[in-house]
A = this chain, B = another copy of it.
Amino acid sequence: MASQSDVARLANVSFMTVSRVVNGDPRVKPETRERVQRAIEELRYRPNAAARALNRQRSMTIALVLPRMDAALSEPYFSQLIYHVERALMPLDYSILIVSGENRGGVDPTLLFDQKKADGVMILGAQIGDPRLEALSARGCPTVLLHARSELPGISWVDVDNAAMVDYFVDRLHRLGHRRIAFISGDLSVPNARQRLDAFRARTETLGLPCGEDLHFPGDWSSGSGFRAFARFHALEVRPSAVIASNDHMAIGFLKAAAESGVSVPDDLSVVGIDDIEMAAYTTPSLTTMRQPLRLIASGAVEALAAAMDDGSRPASRLVLGAEPVLRESCGPISSVSFS
């Protein structure tokens, strides 16, 4: 592989001039620049990232921590997030190092920062009290959370408005005549799961709807947990007429169990989810859900992280984005009951 000196020799200049051309320094005679350019082409010269990183003290790389495998974030959904993050990062010329979400035994993002393998860290769907967050915050490592929140100093985040999404569905179901609404929560060690549950409780109470603990079916984001939640539903003396699931996977699992039990959706029961994964349009019945502004989440996170990496002393930024309802077949008016 050719180095700057090789190029310099071929172009009859010092390697310093080559460096200038490569970095677009304007103080180079056009004619010389031209000559250097040709030499670069001829030798297929490419700047060595390691040398550059060593000198500049910047790796031009960020670490992206994926959610834990056990479905902290809906699967098909976070791969899209990766895509959008990459798109947003490309113009800045940053690369992405991925790190599995497993915090036990996995790669430590703080270590990557200390080793200068990454200039900043992005975390998808962080857990509450994840020890890595504190470590990152303490190190002063530029960090941004996607789909999660944190009060730690120096930790920026971008999240959707969890309360607004849940409120929307509670209100809508209420208007459709539903009075008894159940809620399937996600893994409560994830901030979003808790926020959604809290919003559900608050909103049902405000509207004067029943909101006892028997209407809360704990789940863990997985389809299986949604499926199992149906047993709780089924065991209830007086059944709810609607169920809000904290994500589509659980809603789909629940739908499956309902179908097996002969409960007809949406005739006997309305079901809604959150995320709008691709499959949500292809279940039977198709799923009413909430589409997340993925591109905005990604670009917002990239912007926040870039700012933090440019200026380590700036305060953390926080951004809350709205989601968009997608109305499909799984949700309808309450049937054959006097509205009380």
Contacts and interface: CB of A to CB of B under 8 A. Distances in A.
A321 interface: no
Contact of A98 (B96, B112, B226): B96
A44 B54 CA distance: 19
User: For the side of the interface on A, what is the size category?
Assistant: 35 or more
A321 to B, nearest CB: 21
B69 A80 contact: yes
Nearest to A54: B50
B223 A282 contact: yes
A103 to B, nearest CB: 13
Contacts of A226: 282
Interface in A95-136: 95-100, 106-107, 111-112, 114-117
11 contacts: A1-B116, A49-B115, A50-B117, A61-B97, A86-B99, A87-B100, A95-B107, A96-B98, A226-B282, A256-B284, A283-B283
Interface of A: 1, 44, 46-51, 53-54, 59, 61, 64, 66, 69, 75-76, 78-80, 82-83, 86-87, 90, 95-100, 106-107, 111-112, 114-117, 222-224, 226-227, 249, 252-253, 255-256, 259-260, 278-279, 281-284, 286
